[in-house]
Amino acid sequence: MAGITALGTTYNLPNYTGILHMLTPADTPFFSAIGGLTGGGQTTDLEFEWGTYDLRTAGQNVSLEGQDAPTDQERVRAAANNITQIHHETVGVSYTKQAATGRLSGLATAGAASSVLSELDWQTEIMLKQMIRDVEWSFINGTYQKPSDNTTARKTRGLLAAITSNVMTAGAAQQTGTAAAATDLITLTAHGLTDGDTVRFSSVGAATPLSTATVYYVVSSTANTFKVATIKGGTPVDITVDGTVVWNEGVALTKTHIDTLLQSAYDNGGLMESETRTLIVGSAQKLAVTAAYTAAGYVMKQLDGNIGGVTVNRIDTDFGVLNIMLDRHMPQDTIAAVSLEDCRPVYLEVPGKGHFFEEPLAKTGAKDRNQLYGEVGLDYGNQQKHAKLTGLKA
């Protein structure tokens, strides 16, 4: 069912009896593992930074017997930064809706017990859950935006955008075709794709609304044409403008892919802490990781564990025992090797209110309205301690 963007009334917020089941998963494993709402750090500016430093390359540095003190040497520090992102929502419920708890819209008659006894409290609680899911999505997929004034929203840099040093692409060679608005077809002679294959566009030209940030599934394929959908076997995307598109077909994950990814992070100082070295995957790559290790003749050691209160699986790899964190907000063609000890949320505290608070709005009629507000950004530490692999078959 759809949500509403209006005042809640007895007409648009029906009551029912019985157990109330949530249809949308609300888990936020990455955000929860690095601190959640009760952990992390604080800032007193909308921008925040953290320092980095390195050591010189190790070598057989020798000195002469009896020599004078060697030339002075110092290490120079550098800084990384991010920005807090505003999460701001409002819920509102009419007085009548709050009072008429006996008005039911299901099979039960008036006077039976409703599943929700305080509509305003329930809507406020659900809105907070939605906001926390948005934080999780932003901390993984967010793109950085620092505006010059308040006519443009601030955006925090997510983990995947932050990783720039240890980046691998497993996808097949690029292919170029034409997208047609009239038919929603993408055309390339002998493209080699079949229904269910995944593609990620590296360029979409004018072909609205295709995006380079989305993993697409091939549908309605023929030898020379195909359509794309955002879910496997789903409805084809309605292409509204013709354009030239470039894509990579996703390829199946192998143990070699994983080993190279882990080695890349390890060689740059990551994955050193046994409790926090973590592979973050979506559902497709969770299955692929198991299949890759099994195909390579490994006996999987699915050891249960938890990190920051989040339950994870653990497998024994060439780089030690590794947490496998299943996160539904990870792109299905991507995995990330993450040193979680370097990550934390950073909050901009509002004096006298804290962070992610709820407060009533001024009365303007026969209704109650609450606003929920919070500002938070991701501190991802040394991005060289993380690694990402894209272009995988989902």
Contacts of 179 (CB under 8 A, 6+ apart): 185, 186, 204, 205, 207, 210, 239, 242, 243, 244, 245
> End of a domain among 249, 282, 311?
249
Residues 319 and 334 in one domain: yes
Query: Final residue of a domain: which of 205, 230, 249?
Result: 249
> Above 80 in pLDDT, residue 107?
no
Residues 266 and 299 reside in one and the same domain: yes
CATH of the domain at 314: 3.30.2320
Same domain flag for 243 and 186: yes
Residues 198 and 300 in one domain: no
Do 197 and 220 fall into the same domain?
A: yes
pLDDT digits (tens, 9 = 90+) for 318-327: 888 889 999 9
Taking only the tens place, the pLDDT of each residue in 11-28 is 999 888 888 888 889 999
Tell me the pLDDT tens digit for each residue of 74-86: 999 999 999 999 9
| Tens digit of each residue's pLDDT (9 = 90 or more) over 177-207 | 999 999 999 999 999 999 999 999 999 999 9
pLDDT value at residue 300: 61
Q: What is the pLDDT of residues 225-235, one digit of tens each?
A: 999 999 999 99
- Residue owning tokens 């060697």: 70
Exposed/middle/buried for residue 165 (C-beta within 10 Å: 0-12, 13-18, 19+): middle
Q: What is the mean pLDDT of residues 238-254?
A: 94
Q: Which two tokens stand for residue 252?
A: 């199946």
Kindly state whether residues 263 and 385 are assigned to the same domain.
yes
Task: Say if 104 falls within a structural domain.
Answer: no
Give the 3-state secondary structure of residue 335: strand
Domain containing residue 308: 253-343+381-390
> Does the reported pTM lie above 0.75?
yes
215 pLDDT higher than 60? yes
Alpha-carbon torsion (162, 350, 124, 33), positive or negative: positive
Q: Are residue 265 and residue 205 in the same domain, yes or no?
A: no
Q: What is the band of 302 on the pLDDT scale with cuts at 50, 70, 90?
A: low
Q: Is the pLDDT of residue 176 over 80?
A: yes
Asked if residue 261 and residue 244 are part of one domain, the reply reads: no
300 is a domain residue: yes
Cα dihedral across residues 292, 296, 297, 299: positive or negative: negative
Q: Do 294 and 310 lie in a common domain?
A: yes
Is the residue at 361 inside a domain? no
**Mean pLDDT, rounded, of the chain:** 92
pLDDT at 110 over 60: no
> How many domains, the chain?
2
Is residue 60 included in any domain, yes or no? no
- Whether 385 maps to a domain, the answer reads yes
Any idea how long the chain is? 394
Does residue 303 have a pLDDT over 80?
no
Structure tokens at 211: 């995006």
Burial class (CB in 10 A: 0-12, 13-18, 19+), 55: exposed
Residue 112 inside a domain? The answer is no
Give residue 233's pLDDT. Answer: 92
Domain identity same for 201 and 241: yes
Last residue of one domain, picked from the residues 249, 269, 284: 249
* pLDDT on residue 1: 61
Say which amino acid occupies 87. H
> For residues 348 and 376, is the Cβ–Cβ distance under 8 A?
yes
Residues 211 and 269 in one domain: no
Q: Is residue 201 part of a domain?
A: yes
Q: Which tens digits make up the pLDDT trace of 256-287?
A: 999 999 999 999 999 998 889 999 999 999 99
Same domain assignment for residues 235 and 283: no
- CATH number for the domain spanning 196: value is 2.40.30.180
Residue 301: pLDDT over 80: no
pLDDT of residue 93: 97
* 79, part of any domain: no
335 pairs with which residues across the strands? 281, 389
Rounded to whole angstroms, the Cα distance separating 31 from 138 reads 10
